[in-house]
Homo-oligomer: A and B are copies of this chain.
Amino acid sequence: MELNAEQKAEIEALRADRHQTRRATVAGLEEILYEPIPVLDHGFVRVVDYMGDDAAVVQAARVSYGKGTRQARDDAGLLNYLLRHRHTTPFEMCEIKYHVKLPVFVARQWIRHRTANVNEYSARYSILDKEYYIPAPDQLGTQSRSNRQGRGAILDGEEAERVLALLREDAERCHAHYAEMLNESDDGKALDPGRRGLARELARMNLTLNTYTQWYWKIDLHNLMHFLGLRADPHAQYEIRVYAEAMLGTLERWMPITYDAFVNHQLGGVRLSSGALAVVKRLIGGEAVGQEESGLSKREWRELMETLGREG
């Protein structure tokens, strides 16, 4: 990811500026405010604003529970309790805003999370730069045999080279033809004065799905954790997971206590069906249970054994 001189200057100006505020302020997050965190080959994620801190969640919970929480436990205990019991509304009281640069096919997965606010760069209005994602060689996974939506072993040798060459050539060619159809130079003049140029809203359809786009994305803390729970998960596609992982780092800076509770209860936690719970109880009781006596399907049994770190 390279920023041009203008962008760098803009970020430096924003970072140099300081204001007095009465609002809750988080020093750890202020440190990196506006700074792009590189993701993939040309992408980034950066925090551009935030509202609230760990104490704001506690404060919201105490409004709900009123005097009921006065004598209460400490903040970490309360935040853990809230997450464990799915009292999610106090976490909705904090908000964060990101600026993200990401490939279109990643944006298409990301946007499925509807409880967020988005402003995306519009290719109806403006021209997209020639920037596209090419996987690193160690990410060229084959189709997984066991998991219909996952990757298996890594391609190498000639096949890998051929794949990288195809991705690069097609993205280059498609963008070159996009620019040709548009027939616009940077200052808005026609490149070829003999042609009129195709409308931007049409020409864009020739771009490949690894083209980079960007957006502002704003979300509350509860829904952010839901998003990270799904997208920082090992089953998520690598290309979105790396964004989620970068954002986990920003969450840790922003909300250190909530972050710990989140890692413990959601990210590292598991759900057991009533059938799986029954099996767990029998195992704890010392019984030797196999799949056939378990009442679980083969698939659910295998997943449970994995969760428990046991040979099936």
Q: Is A227 an interface residue (CB 8 A)?
A: no
- A274 adjacent to B269 (CB under 8 Å): yes
Q: Is A259 an interface residue (CB 8 A)?
A: no
Min distance, Cβ A276 to any Cβ of chain B, angstroms = 8
CA distance A207 to B68 in the complex (A): 19
Min distance, Cβ A249 to any Cβ of chain B, angstroms = 18
1/0 per residue, CB under 8 A from B, across A192-209: the answer is 000111111110111111
Q: Which of B25, B115, B142, B182 contacts A198 (CB 8 A)?
A: B142
Q: Quickly give the copy total for this chain.
A: 4
Q: Is A181 an interface residue (CB 8 A)?
A: yes
Q: Is A299 an interface residue (CB 8 A)?
A: yes
CB-contacts of A260-291 with B (<8 A): 263-265, 267-277, 280-281, 283-284, 286
Given A50-B23, A95-B218, A90 contacting B119 (CB threshold 8 A): yes
- Residue positions of A touching B, CB distance < 8 A: 14-15, 17-25, 30, 33-34, 49-52, 56, 59-61, 63-69, 73, 77, 80-81, 84-86, 89-90, 92-93, 95, 97, 99, 103-105, 107-108, 111-112, 114-115, 117-122, 124-127, 133, 135, 139-144, 148-153, 155, 159, 163, 166-167, 170-171, 173-174, 177, 180-182, 184, 195-202, 204-210, 214-216, 218, 220, 230, 235, 237, 263-265, 267-277, 280-281, 283-284, 286, 297, 299-300, 303, 307-310
